């Protein structure tokens, strides 16, 4: 299993390398390391079918490019000619052995080589050698054979392109920011990098402070202008994002932070950098991926201010109107998107960034395919032909003509699918056999509200209230929170809204309330933190109740609950808040209160909590983390963080059963809801409310409409027999392919 994973990694990395030299070196280095051999060398067929040593880990560097074995000569020639692997010890005793001077081969006592064959021709030979006289195991040999079959394709592609005098194609992998396929030419965005600014002193803090205020005003004007440019086309989708930019620009933490840095003797760019960096770092350190993504908004804004200060912020699009453009930048900003004519904009590629950034949110709202985080070092040339396959998170630069044709066909198909899904917007999610499923969105920023509504969400199933707490210098007041929650409830007027109380603590630290802990994931967080800071919780609950204004749309979600006393204490506080507000003359009603089932200890206690709660919402992100003891944000153990692990699937089924017995409404608000395969299982388990990202909602609605309960149940039964998550995924994907889940067949063919 390890070798297979490694194989995929090596082939992918090789396909992505920027130059042929990097590619071949990466191949030999990775194989040497993974197999624990002393030498790995790659020979490629030259003119007259001779074999040229093009890369080696272990043999003398001077031999690379110079060592050339005539066709059929030596062990390498033998493998090339016979197209069969050779796996031997004491290679110098083999009749075909030829001594090649100066490369130090004579020291190695074992040898294994496999041919790279493409369309029946040997295009190269991959060889490994060890000092020890040990023959490679059949598994190791099979690994090399499998690898060589794939490498033959990768390596051959380079030579074809070079022979044709064309720029070779490149594929980069990132994450999906907004779905779809876009094709066009690369338009590089201004990448003013505030974060590379070095500290410089300022001589006259007074005039620099004035300059700072002028800069703020100028950028505020620019943002308003861009907002109105886009607004005429799509105002409701994008207004909130620009509002968030305005909010950040007016934030006292930014404005006075920079003033203080200037007063301390720094020039404007370095003052700006230190303040923006400070806030971006705070967000970056958070373990919640949504909140972590907010650091990108802050960095965008920092770069935006910096480029305006440098006078470089001007539209540089010089293409003929209607030229299809793919915006490419470290962090393509909201204003880059706004400044590009909508009929030209076909895709967005960010070298940095995550699927939760504002750029991704805006791309989603505008329906522009976006791929995020393809890596800093990727050089894409201005004007290069590009394909953005955001469904798979792939970016193709200078694609082969055949690939381009195939993508044009896929893009046309996609367009048709999108049209069909848009038609579903106002239709209910009902299974083929008449079972109603309620689809909500997850949200957490005012800018997210429109995409959810546009996707046809029936409410907000999870509103993460953390953000207003994090962008300030201190705890937001009741009035400030009231404004925010009112905005959310108003946007979804008449629809249910589940506001979660502050899920702070652990890595989600507040800048003005530092918490240092040995083991933050198991520490002072969620409801524990809230109850220990009850004045804070009281303020938040009062703001929530006042925002609801007695409409009854509000439900309150409690995060990370693990003990009965937490519920009892919250209920007491809620009753106090209600009486206070009633006495003050506010119209309020008791909201429904539920717990997030995230801590495994909650599961067994649900029957004990029946009288205290009105519903539960399964937070599969944390539940998976705590059931599997796998940090959800640690890349090293990412492969083990898997909600298809049978333990997670079984526990969720158990929660669904318990809630049925207790007649307790249950929903799922973790990422599992957005995954079509997982959604089938959740529905089969009896869960009828799913809360997910706005981008996925239309497809999940399509799924519900093409599913019947006996089929879902049959799949769940098969899944329950599996002991391996990979098998579970395959079962579900096969079914989704069978029903032609939108976009999946096209993705599977690539």
User: Which one of residues 34, 50, 105, 288 is an interface residue with ligand PEP (CB under 6 A)?
Assistant: 288
d(CA 441, CA 690): 8
Residue closer to ligand PEP by CB (options 395, 462) is 462
Q: How far is the CB of 521 from ligand PEP (least distance, A)?
A: 11
d(CA 30, CA 156): 19
Residue closer to ligand PEP by CB (options 219, 462) is 462
Which entry of Mg ion, ligand PEP, none binds 669, CB below 5 to 8 A by partner kind? ligand PEP
Contacts of 449 (CB under 8 A, 6+ apart): 240, 443, 487, 488, 491, 492
d(CA 242, CA 239): 5
- Catalytic-role residue among 40, 189, 350, 669: 669
Residue closer to Mg ion by CB (options 34, 622) is 622
Q: Which of residues 579-598 bind Mg ion (CB under 5 A)?
A: 598
The 3-state DSSP composition of the chain as helix, strand, coil percent (nearest 5) reads 50, 15, 30
Residue closer to ligand PEP by CB (options 100, 291) is 291
> Total residues contacting Mg ion (rule CB under 5 A)?
3
d(CA 28, CA 155): 13
Q: Is 50 in the site for ligand PEP (CB under 6 A)?
A: no
Which entry of Mg ion, ligand PEP, none binds 237, CB below 5 to 8 A by partner kind? none
Residue 358 designated active-site:
yes
Q: Is 354 in the site for ligand PEP (CB under 6 A)?
A: no
DSSP element (H, E) containing 371: strand 370-372
The backbone region for 397, taken as left when phi is positive above 0, alpha when psi lies in -120 to 50, beta otherwise, is: beta
The backbone region for 64, taken as left when phi is positive above 0, alpha when psi lies in -120 to 50, beta otherwise, is: beta
Residue 700, number of CB atoms within 10 A of its CB = 23
Q: Which of residues 603-662 bind Mg ion (CB under 5 A)?
A: 619, 622
Q: How far is the CB of 464 from ligand PEP (least distance, A)?
A: 5
Sheet architecture: strand order including 385-389? 170-173, 394-397, 385-389, 181-188, 325-329, 345-350, 370-372, 175-178
d(CA 290, CA 240): 17
Q: How far is the CB of 539 from Mg ion (least distance, A)?
A: 22
Q: How far is the CB of 668 from ligand PEP (least distance, A)?
A: 8
Give the residue among 508, 571, 585 at the shortest CA–CA distance from 541: 571
Residue closer to ligand PEP by CB (options 464, 701) is 464
> If you write DSSP's letter for every residue of 532-594 in order, what string do you get?
HTHHHHHHHHHHHHHHHTT-S-EEEEETT---HHHHHHHHHHHHHHHHHHHHTT----PPEEE
Q: Which of residues 500-559 bind ligand PEP (CB under 6 A)?
A: 503
Q: How far is the CB of 260 from Mg ion (least distance, A)?
A: 35
Q: How far is the CB of 442 from Mg ion (least distance, A)?
A: 11
Counting Cα atoms < 13 Å in the Cβ hemisphere of 137 gives 6
Which entry of ligand PEP, Mg ion, none binds 454, CB below 5 to 8 A by partner kind? none
Are β-strands 51-57 and 39-45 bridged in parallel, bridged antiparallel, or unpaired?
Answer: antiparallel
> Total residues contacting ligand PEP (rule CB under 6 A)?
11
Residue closer to ligand PEP by CB (options 76, 356) is 356
Residue closer to Mg ion by CB (options 105, 598) is 598
- Catalytic-role residue among 57, 295, 313, 358: 358
User: Which one of residues 298, 541, 669, 746 is an interface residue with ligand PEP (CB under 6 A)?
Assistant: 669
Contacts of 730 (CB under 8 A, 6+ apart): none
* 91-103 residues labelled b (16+ CB within 10 A) or e (exposed): beeeeebeebeeb
Residue closer to Mg ion by CB (options 226, 507) is 507
User: Which one of residues 464, 542, 546, 699 is an interface residue with ligand PEP (CB under 6 A)?
Assistant: 464
Q: How far is the CB of 622 from ligand PEP (least distance, A)?
A: 3
Q: How far is the CB of 509 from Mg ion (least distance, A)?
A: 16
Q: Which of residues 596-655 bind ligand PEP (CB under 6 A)?
A: 598, 619-622
Which entry of ligand PEP, Mg ion, none binds 288, CB below 5 to 8 A by partner kind? ligand PEP
Q: Is 670 in the site for ligand PEP (CB under 6 A)?
A: yes
> If you write DSSP's letter for every residue of 626-681 in order, what string do you get?
HHHT--TT-GGGGGG--TTSHHHHHHHHHHHHHHHHHT--EEE-SGGGGSHHHHHH
Active-site residues, by number, are 358, 669
Residue ranges in contact with Mg ion by CB under 5 A: 598, 619, 622
Residue ranges in contact with ligand PEP by CB under 6 A: 288, 462, 464, 503, 598, 619-622, 669-670
């Amino acid at each position: 299993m390890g070798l297979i994973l490694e194989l995929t990694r090596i082939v992918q990395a090789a396909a992505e390398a920027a130059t042929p030299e990097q590619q071949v070196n990466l191949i030999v280095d990775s194989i040497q390391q993974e197999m624990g051999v002393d030498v790995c060398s790659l020979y490629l067929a030259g003119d007259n079918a001779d074999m040229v040593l093009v890369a080696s880990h272990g043999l003398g560097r001077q031999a690379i490019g110079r060592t050339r074995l005539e066709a059929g000569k030596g062990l390498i020639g033998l493998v090339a000619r016979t197209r069969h692997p050779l796996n031997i010890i004491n290679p110098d005793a083999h009749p075909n052995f030829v001594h090649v001077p100066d490369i130090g081969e004579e020291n190695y006592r074992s040898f294994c080589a496999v041919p790279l064959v493409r369309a029946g021709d040997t295009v190269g030979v991959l060889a490994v050698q060890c000092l020890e006289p040990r023959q490679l195991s059949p598994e190791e040999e099979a690994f090399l054979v499998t690898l060589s079959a794939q490498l033959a394709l990768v390596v051959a592609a380079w030579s074809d392109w070079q022979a044709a005098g064309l720029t070779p194609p490149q594929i980069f992998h990132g994450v999906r920011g907004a779905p779809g396929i876009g094709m066009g030419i690369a338009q590089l965005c201004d990448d003013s990098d505030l974060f590379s600014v070095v500290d410089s002193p300022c001589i006259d803090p007074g005039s620099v402070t004035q300059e700072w205020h002028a800069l703020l005003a100028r950028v505020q004007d620019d943002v308003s202008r861009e907002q109105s440019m886009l607004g005429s086309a799509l105002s409701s989708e994008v207004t909130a994002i620009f509002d968030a930019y305005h909010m950040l620009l007016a934030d006292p933490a930014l404005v006075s932070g920079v003033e203080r840095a200037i007063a301390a003797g720094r020039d404007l760019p370095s003052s700006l950098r230190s303040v923006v960096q400070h806030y971006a770092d705070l967000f970056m350190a958070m373990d919640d991926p949504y909140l972590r993504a907010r650091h990108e908004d802050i960095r965008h804004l920092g770069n935006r201010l910096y480029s305006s200060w440098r006078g470089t912020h001007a539209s540089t699009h010089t293409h003929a109107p209607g030229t299809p453009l793919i915006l490419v930048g470290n962090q393509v900003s909201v204003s880059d998107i706004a400044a590009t004519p909508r009929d030209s904009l076909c895709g967005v590629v960010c070298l940095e960034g995550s699927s939760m950034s504002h750029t991704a949110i805006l791309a989603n709202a505008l329906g522009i395919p976006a791929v995020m985080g393809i890596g800093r070092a990727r050089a894409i040339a201005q004007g290069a032909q590009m394909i953005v396959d955001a469904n798979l998170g792939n970016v193709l630069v200078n694609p082969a003509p055949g690939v381009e044709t195939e993508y044009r066909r896929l893009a046309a198909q996609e367009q048709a699918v999108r049209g069909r899904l848009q038609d579903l917007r106002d239709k209910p999610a009902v299974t083929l056999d008449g079972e109603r499923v309620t689809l909500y969105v997850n949200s957490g920023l005012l800018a997210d509200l429109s995409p959810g509504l546009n996707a046809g969400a029936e409410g907000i199933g999870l509103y993460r209230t953390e953000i207003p707490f994090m962008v300030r210098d201190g705890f937001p007041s009741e009035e400030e929170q009231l404004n925010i929650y009112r905005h959310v409830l108003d946007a979804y007027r008449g629809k249910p809204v589940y506001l979660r109380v502050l899920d702070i603590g652990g890595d989600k630290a507040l800048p003005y309330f530092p918490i240092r802990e040995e083991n933050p994931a198991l520490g002072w967080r969620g409801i524990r933190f809230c109850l220990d800071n009850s004045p804070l919780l009281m303020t938040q609950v009062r703001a929530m109740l006042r925002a609801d204004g007695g409409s009854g749309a509000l439900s309150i979600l409690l995060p990370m609950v693990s003990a009965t006393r937490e519920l009892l204490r919250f209920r007491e506080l809620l009753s106090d808040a209600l009486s206070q507000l009633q006495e003050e003359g506010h119209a309020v009603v008791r909201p429904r209160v539920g717990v997030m089932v995230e801590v495994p200890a909650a599961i067994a206690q649900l029957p004990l909590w029946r009288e205290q709660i009105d519903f539960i919402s399964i937070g599969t992100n944390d539940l998976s983390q705590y059931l599997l003891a796998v940090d959800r944000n640690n890349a090293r153990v990412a492969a083990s963080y898997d909600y298809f692990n049978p333990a997670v699937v079984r526990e969720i089924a158990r929660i669904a059963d318990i809630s049925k017995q207790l007649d307790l409404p249950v929903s799922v608000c973790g990422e599992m809801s957005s995954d079509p395969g997982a959604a089938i299982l959740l529905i089969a388990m009896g869960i009828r409310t799913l809360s997910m990202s706005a981008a996925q909602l239309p497809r999940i609605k399509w799924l519900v409409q093409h599913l019947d309960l006996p089929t879902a149940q049959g799949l769940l039964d098969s899944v329950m027999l599996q002991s391996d998550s990979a098998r579970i995924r395959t079962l579900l994907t096969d079914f989704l392919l069978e029903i032609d889940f939108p976009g999946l067949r096209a993705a599977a063919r690539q």
